[in-house]
Amino acid sequence: MNAEETQTVERRAAIHAALGDPARLQIVDRLVLADRSPGELQTELGIASNLMAHHLRTLEQSGLISRHRSEADRRRSYLRLERAALEALSPGAAIAAPRIVFVCTANSARSHLADALWRKASTVPSASAGTHPADQVARGAIGAARRHGLDLLDATPRALADVARPGDLVITVCDRAHEELGDNGLHWSIPDPVAVGTRDAFEEAVELLAERVEDLAPRISAA
């Protein structure tokens, strides 16, 4: 890691450490809803004043809360949750890529569904391909796409060699393709719905892919 990455990880670790106490979690839970004075928190949570001061100092030092003087009674202060600090708790890795290419073995279901989900979630261009493309897209994938309002763009299975461009971020969505290509890009281990063949299997694949796309899309920027 470079110095900037190290600093970011250390800051996130400090925030996690600050939240590693039940009383401090309760304080943060209250401040999510509204600003409160130390005295109000002390009364609500039944925490002694010296212990409350310790918890608040820890939360302030980690950047989770800030203290602001009352405009009415300058002897009084209010605590405010710093939401940006909470956002830093989520995984911080970010990647710049000109295009995403979703890959499975046959390019007949998972990779096409992932591509369609990605196009709804991100402006970064995407495509799909297979290491050993099938003759056609699986009927179950077409049905699942229709149920979820996904556009498969008249999808046709294509070979990765015909689709790949320099700089592409490859995301394998099946274990076989990942193990064939090696550690080159990202991998999502999604069970093969075609092998099972049921509507439920395709629904599960869409659900799992949607979760992964939702998590990753905010962390990918256009190169």
Q: pLDDT (tens digit, 9 = 90+) per residue, 98-154?
A: 999 999 999 999 999 999 999 999 999 999 999 999 999 999 999 999 999 999 877
Outline where the chain has alpha helix (H): 3-18, 22-33, 38-45, 49-61, 83-87, 110-121, 139-147, 160-163, 175-181, 193-196, 199-216
Spans of all domains in the chain = 3-87, 95-222
d(CA 85, CA 89): 7
- Name residue 104's beta-bridge partners: 130
Superfamily of domain 95-222 in CATH is: Response regulator (3.40.50.2300)
Q: Which residue has the tokens 């796309």?
A: 213
CATH number assigned to the domain covering 3-87: 1.10.10.10
- Please state the pTM of the whole predicted model: 0.72
Q: pLDDT (tens digit, 9 = 90+) per residue, 53-79?
A: 999 999 999 999 999 999 899 888 999
d(CA 157, CA 105): 10
d(CA 140, CA 136): 11
